[in-house]
């Protein structure tokens, strides 16, 4: 079945870290699929089976090898492959983890490959309406038929997905729809959503009309800082994780731990943890695997 959106974002981030390292080495995996993602007892995702990986510069593919359900359109058409080919596979993995079903459910290889070229992947909200339009757009871009329209790196896709699934709309509506689907007819579900949306709109309008209102009733009190969920940067290189936090309005501090396992310079712990509601400007403590050139140079 479908996994919680925040858990999917974490797993995708970890797989993206492995893919980005593979791409920096000049290789393309070419067989990114759920069966090749192993999650250990600690909840860490590992990408396996590099049996058909090959150099990105080797653009000629003599034989179409891989799993038809997860093959990118450019491979079906015999076009060159790149890191964006693996981004497509990672987006298919994210789709399946978020919905509990593959984007292309056909049984025959020929049908699966034809669907990829003629119809493209369905919008994820048709299978999981509790996800936000932003999350839908992120998955759709990752599954774009034209590689140039996809995210340039697996890490960029993972960061966008993390931001999307941690937005307030997804956090409120997805659990509501999941719990109501098994108890109420569809019309009751829609009515319940209407009530929730009406309440949210009322709250927004109230604070728009009375922006200085505070719980304590003190009209001179300074407005509280905006809050949001802390982005998930686990698995990212420290040099990428710091600006990712800064773009979301947070500060960062960092230190290494020689006991950690993982690729050099990758973040393995963050505190407060990803998804924690924290005020903008909060300092996020990052712990990374030591390596050469991990720490950004001072200006």
Residues labelled catalytic: 31
Q: What whole-number distance in Å separates Cα of residue 6 and Cα of residue 208?
A: 30
Q: What whole-number distance in Å separates Cα of residue 196 and Cα of residue 176?
A: 10
Q: Which two tokens stand for residue 254?
A: 């960092």
Q: Following DSSP, what letter does each residue of 255-291 receive, concatenated? A: EE-TT--SSTTBEEEEESPTT-EEETTPEEEEEE---
Q: Which helix (H) or strand (E) holds 228?
A: strand 227-229
Phi and psi at 286, nearest 5°, equal: -110, 140
Q: What whole-number distance in Å separates Cα of residue 31 and Cα of residue 71?
A: 7
Count the Cβ atoms, other than its own, within 10 Å of residue 9.
29
Q: Which two tokens stand for residue 75?
A: 């491979």
C-alpha of 16 from chain center = 9
Question: In sequence order, what are the beta bridge partners of 159?
Answer: none
């Amino acid at each position: 079945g479908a996994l919680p959106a925040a858990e999917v974002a974490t797993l995708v981030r970890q797989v993206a870290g492995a893919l980005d390292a593979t791409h920096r080495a000049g290789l393309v995996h070419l067989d990114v699929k759920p069966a090749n993602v192993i999650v250990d007892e600690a909840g860490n995702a590992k990408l396996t089976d590099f049996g058909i990986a090959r150099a990105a510069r080797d653009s000629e593919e003599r034989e179409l090898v891989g799993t038809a359900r997860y093959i990118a359109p450019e491979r079906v058409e015999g076009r060159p492959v790149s890191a964006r080919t693996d981004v497509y596979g990672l987006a298919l993995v994210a789709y399946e983890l978020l919905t509990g079903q593959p984007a292309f459910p056909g049984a025959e290889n020929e049908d699966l490959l034809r669907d990829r070229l003629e119809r493209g992947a369905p919008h994820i909200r048709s299978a999981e309406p509790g996800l936000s339009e932003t999350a839908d757009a992120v998955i759709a871009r990752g599954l774009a038929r034209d590689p140039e329209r996809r995210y340039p790196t697996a890490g960029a896709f993972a960061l966008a997905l993390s931001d999307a699934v941690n937005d307030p709309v997804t956090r409120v509506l997805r659990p509501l729809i999941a719990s109501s689907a098994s108890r109420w007819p569809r019309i009751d579900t829609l009515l319940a959503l209407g009530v929730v949306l009406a309440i949210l709109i009322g709250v927004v309008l109230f604070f728009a009309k009375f922006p200085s209102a505070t719980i304590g009733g003190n009209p001179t009190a300074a407005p509280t800082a905006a809050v949001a969920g802390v982005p998930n940067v686990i698995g990212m290189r420290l040099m990428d994780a710091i600006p990712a936090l800064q773009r979301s309005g947070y500060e960062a501090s960092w230190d290494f731990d020689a006991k950690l396992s993982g690729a050099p310079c990758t973040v393995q712990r963050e505190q407060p943890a990803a998804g924690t509601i924290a005020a903008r400007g909060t300092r996020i403590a990052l712990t990374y695997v030591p390596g050469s050139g991990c720490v950004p140079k001072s200006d």
